């Protein structure tokens, strides 16, 4: 059975928090809460956020509807589904830790009980693998471009699908990951969307200009 899983940060940067949340609630079998979702819920200290991110959080707090806040408030930053571990950020810190290096992935493998884990938070499509029977220090990883396919039969894995709404790997197209739990493969996808319209909505809402500009460059 096909399902859509969302790894969190439904709100916090864009101009349509209620519409995005309603769409995720309707279509996703699983949704995690991300650090920006928690910030909008006022459940997380935003002192370490950039000024742009703070402004977006404050804007969203003022405008998010009761249904949006109720849905986000019922989510967790980590869970298991179909034998797969899901984290907004990382296995050892599901809310905050960015996994961008082999060292961070190694720590994640040590903390993870399941063989395969999905992570978000970085907005970068990538994967890490520790081969079966290998000790710490023998893991490897890579960014994943459009169409990349990974065979998951061997070893432990951390897979990041990238970001639908704000990629940061230089490719502005929306990123998503197709996980086949029968064939045990992961295929990375990029799809075009109306970036100009999304940027125009951000500007019309009075949100910080960098949030609109970065959509064009995928940064």
Q: What is the pLDDT of residues 124-154, one digit of tens each?
A: 999 999 999 887 878 999 999 999 999 999 9
> What number is the average pLDDT over the span 160-179?
96
Q: Which strands sit side by side in the sheet containing 140-143, from one edge to the other?
A: 78-81, 84-87, 116-118, 156-161, 125-130, 140-143
Domain containing 177 equals 5-217
Among candidate residues 126, 130, 133, the one with its CA nearest the CA of residue 109: 130
Q: What distance in Å separates the CA atoms of residue 48 and residue 145, rounded to the nearest whole number?
A: 30
Write the CATH number for 147.
Answer: 3.60.21.10
Residue matched to tokens 């969203």: 60
Count of domains forming the chain: 1
In this predicted structure, the answer to whether residue 106 has a pLDDT above a threshold of 90 is yes
Q: What is the pLDDT of residues 57-87, one digit of tens each?
A: 999 999 999 999 999 999 999 999 999 999 9
pLDDT score of 84: 97
> What number is the average pLDDT over the span 161-189?
96
User: What is the enclosing helix (H) or strand (E) of 210?
Assistant: helix 209-217
Q: What share of the chain is helix, strand, coil (3-state, %, to 5)?
A: 30, 20, 45
């Amino acid at each position: 059975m096909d399902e859509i899983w969302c790894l969190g940060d439904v709100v916090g940067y864009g101009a349509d928090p209620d519409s995005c949340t309603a769409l995720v609630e309707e279509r996703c079998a699983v949704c995690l809460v991300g650090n920006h979702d928690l910030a909008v819920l006022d459940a997380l200290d935003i002192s370490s956020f950039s000024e742009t991110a703070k402004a977006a959080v404050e804007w969203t707090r003022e405008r998010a509807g009761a249904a949006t806040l109720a849905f986000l408030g019922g989510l967790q930053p980590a869970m298991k589904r179909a034998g797969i571990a899901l984290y907004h950020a990382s296995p050892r810190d599901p809310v905050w830790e960015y996994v961008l290096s082999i060292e961070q992935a190694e720590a994640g493998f040590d903390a993870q009980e399941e063989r395969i884990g999905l992570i978000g938070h970085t907005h970068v499509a990538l994967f890490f693998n520790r081969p079966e029977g290998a000790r710490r220090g023998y893991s490897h990883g890579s960014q994943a471009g459009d169409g990349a396919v990974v065979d998951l039969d061997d070893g432990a894995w951390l897979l990041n699908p990238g970001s639908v709404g704000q990629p940061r790997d230089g490719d502005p197209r929306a990123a998503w990951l197709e996980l086949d739990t029968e064939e045990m493969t992961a295929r990375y996808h990029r799809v075009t969307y109306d970036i100009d319209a999304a940027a125009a909505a951000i500007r019309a809402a009075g949100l910080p200009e960098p949030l609109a500009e970065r959509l064009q460059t995928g940064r």
